[in-house]
Structure 1
Amino acid sequence: MYFTHSSFFDFQSVIVAVPLSLRNRFTGRPWTSTEFSLNCSNQSTTTSCVGANETSAMACPGFFRWIHEDLRPWKDTGISRDMLERAKKHAHFRLVIVEGKAYVEQYSKPYQTRDVFTIWGILQLLNLYPGKIPDLELMFRCGDKTVIQKHDIQGSDATPPAVLFQYCGHSTALNIVFPDWTFWGWAETNIKPWKIMLEGMVGGNKRIKWQDREPYAYWRGNPHVSPNREDLMKCNVSDKYDWLARLYEQNWGKEREQGYKHSKLEDQCTHRYKIYIEGNSWSVSEKYILACDSMALLIKPEYYDFFSRSMEPMQHYWPVRASNKCKDIKFAVEWGNNHSVDAQAIGKAGSKFIQENLKMEYVYEYMFHLFKEYAKLLRFKPKIPAGAVEVSSESTASSLGGLWKMFILESVVKSPGDALVPCTAPPPYDAHNLQDLFQRKENVRRQVEMWGDEYWENLNKKQ
């Protein structure tokens, strides 16, 4: 069953629901890389350091506005030491920055080396903006699930919420969202630092033109981390039915034994459509999937990371219901194969959002502005606890080996002679504009759901 261009819905009616100002909001700046030693001054041993020159400030990407939303629960009260300490039971480590130096008090080890690469990223931020990061103190949790829930702090006797940094957020939770560790590499799965990966994804996109790619929806991953993913595997092609999805289980243990031959993300831009589905919570795979020029089919996420809240359905991706996966996927692929220009445009827009708005310079600038706004709310003077240890790029690199050290060295940031001028952050949302944004997204999702339901209703009538 295929659609014609005179099908029962009009693609353009969806696109006009997305303001032109959002569709055209893509700006980028050059990001240079030079060979430097680890401290970028001793030239006896070279490694790839990210460099930066003095530039005039430009506007930050729109998703920087969410910094203010994440900090809004403490806007009126500020952040007291009690609020910070109450998050300690959830945190893997405490980070203290005083006079440009970083100190870490470790409470427990998270899964794999998430904490190591997260702390490494913060150290690179300090290298990039010497003397410009304010003194601060924070608690960081490296786990997937959010833990501080809104319903726990409601009522007349409620206390102000504890303050915790995490990689993702949820509509029912209160936490501050921070870039995940994979921006500096995921050694356990051989995924290189994001700057290198993004360059590889751009190159991978050029190998096969969109119209020459497999006309199916592709997903590869571990289905056993959530019931939602296990349910997705029911949409795989079988001898009884073809939902137009090609789904593959990723066995990381086997991949390690075989030298990661079948898990190179830059080699997976081979299908016209790629599926994003959450794992235990949000998944780091989102940025890699969106960067592929394929039209991304996003199975409705429950969680969000620091950049995805500014993405628009039917502009950057096609929305899919978690409760109706197989039918929605087949409908999306059928539609895309018969509206290839429009489907390709969605894929390109999603990739452009990632490639231009998620460059490493913007990741660091997001961290810069987040720390700056967070520090403004502190109602106490940050202090170095007795159990904290000073950490630096040199001490971290010297403690690692293998892929871990390789990725660390590949993501070293050059300390600029003149500090990079950060982009200019956009103002906070006002309540009206924020509600309009949520409503617009919901309206588009509902419209796509109606189209899908009508498609299946008409198909059933013909059988």
Structure 2
Amino acid sequence: MYGSQHRLTLLLCALLLFLILTLIKLPNPSKKPAFSNCHFIFKPFFNYLCDGNSFGPFQVSNDSHNHVCYQLYSKNKHADLFARVQLHFQPFSNRKILFSDIENLSNSCLSCHHIQIIQNKLYIIPRPNAFNYQTRSRSVKLLIKQMMDTFPNTPDLDLFFSVQDMVDLPNGLNGVRFNVPIFAFAKTTRTKVGLRSDAVIPMPCFTLWSWPETRAGRWTDRSQSIVSAAQKIGYKNRIPKLFWRGVWNWKRLWYIDLAKENPDIMDIKDVSWNATANGVAHRASNAYVTLEGHCDYKYLAHLEGSSYSSRLKYLLLCGSPVVYNPVQYWEEHWYHLLKDRENIIVFESARNEAALKKLLDHLSHNENKMKRIGQKGQQLVLEYLSEHAVSCYWWKLMHEYAKLLGYQPTLHPDAIHIDDFLIGTLS
């Protein structure tokens, strides 16, 4: 009797299981998963792609030809974030990089920072003579860490980067192109200053992580704050003057002096800072204006610094047309996306007062057009300098660079894992 009941119970359980499998459509492993819960499945990088219960046109892929970074910032786009990456690496394509080349550059660029990626882990190689200024090198390392936290399988490599405004090597080495590139914030092909341009690979600026010393703070937070300020004031209510604030240098002096003679159309002033020992500004002159305050003006000037100036992205976020005067033509990794009279206004007639006044008159009589240029400049930054885009650019740089290596990197005996490094130092 007991055996019959037991068999009946097993039969009923089997029947119930069959009904469940029939009524519920099990996922087919050969098909791509539905992304109705993609916010819970994917890392934060992908969350912003989710739209309700649909995943949109994007495929989450790490395949080299269908990688999500290509889908977002290269394929089927009006602008290609990666358009110049291979061009930058082309001078190093003649032969593979050997370990002896790594040693040579390490001994030649003592001011460079050295990192390693081994088995998808980021390591810092301590270098006592590496150039440190404020928190620049720390921000670069955190940008790389963010990329590695987002994308798996970063190739093994040794990489050297500089946090100077321009790479400047001692002992006549600026004319040498080593077989290993140096990654830096900007380079120029128009002016022979610092390390030769074909030896430099532009990397995302440290400010795209954080710049606390100038009160700019975290890029993700400050960019949102500037856009909010721009939206509040609108465009018609802005002051119709060409506006700029910053630190004096020889490229900017002409504009500062001219503005003193033309206060009705220009407001361009030098800002003097008082800083603490670590470079953090604790008080500025009365001419200081916040980045959000720049949005009060209809026209913003972008003037180069000692080399490049990282200010441009902040200015574009205001949605006011930016008048950009390249003197030495320093370019960051994204400057190829700038289009004159489309998302920026290029003014190349420095020290020509008549030409500048003619330009400002043109701006004031074409308000609708200027508003569109400002909007496109703002959209450019929001799309191509977002934290997602910056991670994608670092991903592309790492994979293209790794193709050049002709040796298998091994862990340096002094290597420190990034987590231990960040706990122990701010450099």
Which interval holds the TM-score relative to the shorter structure? 0.7 to 0.9
Tell whether 2:238 aligns with 1:213. yes
Following TM superposition, by how much is the alpha carbon of 1:350 offset from its aligned partner in structure 2, in angstroms?
1.1
Report the alpha carbon displacement of residue 243 of structure 1 after superposing the two structures with TM: 7.4
201 and 60 in structure 1: CA distance in 2 versus 1, 3 angstrom threshold: same
Partners of 1:80 and 1:147 lie apart in 2 by: 24
Which residue number corresponds to residue 24 of structure 2?
Answer: none
For residues 361-408 of structure 1, the C-alpha deviation after alignment (integer angstroms, 9 at most, x for no partner) is 01100100110111011111112222332222x6515755xxx9xxxx
Q: What SS is found at the alignment partner of 2:134? A: coil
For residue 119 of structure 2, the aligned residue among 81, 94, 99 is: 99
Amino acid at match of 2:175: D
Distance in 2 (alpha carbons) for counterparts of 1:260 and 1:233: 15
Cα gap change, 1:365 to 1:306, in 2 (>3 Å): same
Could you tell me the percent identity over the aligned residues? 20
1:236 alignment partner in structure 2? 259
Amino acid at match of 2:239: E
From 364, 377, 382, the equivalent of 2:409 is 382
Matching residue of 2:271: 250
CA deviation vs aligned residue, 1:263-294 (integer Å, no higher than 9, x gap): 43123201111001110101110110111111
1:79 Cα deviation (Å)?
2.5
Question: 1:300 aligns to what?
Answer: 326
1:84 aligns with 2:102: yes
1:272 alignment counterpart:
298
Instruction: Give the 3 Å change call, closer, same or farther, for CA 86–332 of structure 1 in structure 2.
Output: farther
Residue 133 (structure 2) aligned to one of 107, 111, 136: 111
| 1:227 aligned residue | 250
**SS, match of residue 215 in structure 1:** strand
1:429 maps to what in 2? none
Q: Give the letter aligned to residue 197 of structure 2.
A: A
Quick one: which amino acid aligns to residue 65 of structure 1?
Answer: A
Q: What is the rounded CA distance, in whole Å, between the counterparts of 1:311 and 1:33 in structure 2?
A: 33
Contact 1:243 1:327 in 2 (8 A): no
* Aligned positions of 1:393-404 closer than 5 A: 395-396=421-422, 399=425
Larger Rg: 2
Residues 243 and 297 in structure 2, CA contact (< 8 A), matched pair in contact too: yes
1:124 maps onto 2:138 in alignment = no
Cα separation, partners in 2 of 1:324 and 1:83, compared to 1, 3 Å: farther
Q: Secondary structure at the match of 1:169?
A: coil
Q: Deviations over 1:89-141 (max 9, x none)?
A: 33431110001111112332322121111112111222112x32111111111
Contact 1:297 1:320 in 2 (8 A): yes
CA-to-aligned-CA distance 1:164-205 (integer Å, 9 cap, x gap): 110111115121110111111111112122111221121011
User: How far did residue 346 of structure 1 move?
Assistant: 1.3
Residues 2-46 of structure 1 deviation map (CA, whole Å, 9 limit, x = unaligned): xxxxxxxxxxxxxxxxxxxxxxxxxxxxxx999xxxxxxxxxxxx
Alignment of 1:115-264 (within 5 A): 115-129=137-151, 131-147=152-168, 152=175, 161-171=179-189, 173-174=197-198, 175-223=200-248, 226-238=249-261, 241-242=262-263, 244-253=265-274, 256-258=281-283, 262-264=288-290
Q: Offset at 1:334?
A: 0.8
Tell me if 1:68 matches 2:92: no
Distance 1:296 1:330 in 2: 15
Inter-partner Cα distance in structure 2 for 1:251 and 1:127: 39
State the Cα distance separating 1:322 from its structure 2 match: 5.4
**Counterpart of 1:173 in structure 2: which amino acid?**
S
* Cα distance in 2, alignment partners of residues 355 and 385 from structure 1: 38
- TM-score, normalised to structure 1, is 0.68
- How far the C-alpha of 1:345 sits from its partner, in A, is 1.4
Q: Secondary structure at the match of 1:253?
A: strand
Residues 326 and 84 of structure 1, relative CA distance in 2, 3 Å threshold: farther
Aligned residues of 1:85 and 1:162 also touching (Cα < 8 A): no
- CA distance in structure 1 between the partners assigned to 2:386 and 2:358 by the alignment: 33
Preserved contact between residue 320 and residue 374 of structure 2 (Cα < 8 Å): yes
Distance 2:269 2:250 in 1: 16
Counterpart CA distance in 1 for 2:120 and 2:258 is: 51
Whole-angstrom CA distance in 1 between matches of 2:100 and 2:396: 24
Offset of residue 325 of structure 1: 5.4
Cα distance in 2 for residues equivalent to 1:275 and 1:385: 46
- Structure 1, unaligned stretches of length 5 or more? 1-31, 35-48, 154-158, 405-463
Is the Cα–Cα contact under 8 Å of residues 150 and 173 in structure 1 kept in the other structure? no
Q: Which moved more, 1:320-329 or 1:254-263?
A: 254-263
Question: Which structure would you say has the larger RCO, counting Cα contacts within 8 Å and 6 or more residues apart?
Answer: 1
Residue identity matched to 1:212: N
Structure 1 pair 235/161, CA: closer, same or farther in 2 (3 Å)?
A: farther
**In structure 2, the residue corresponding to 1:313 is in which secondary structure?**
coil
1:150 CA displacement: 11
| SS of aligned partner of 1:274 | strand
The match for 1:46 is: none
Q: State yes or no: 1:335 paired with 2:362.
A: yes
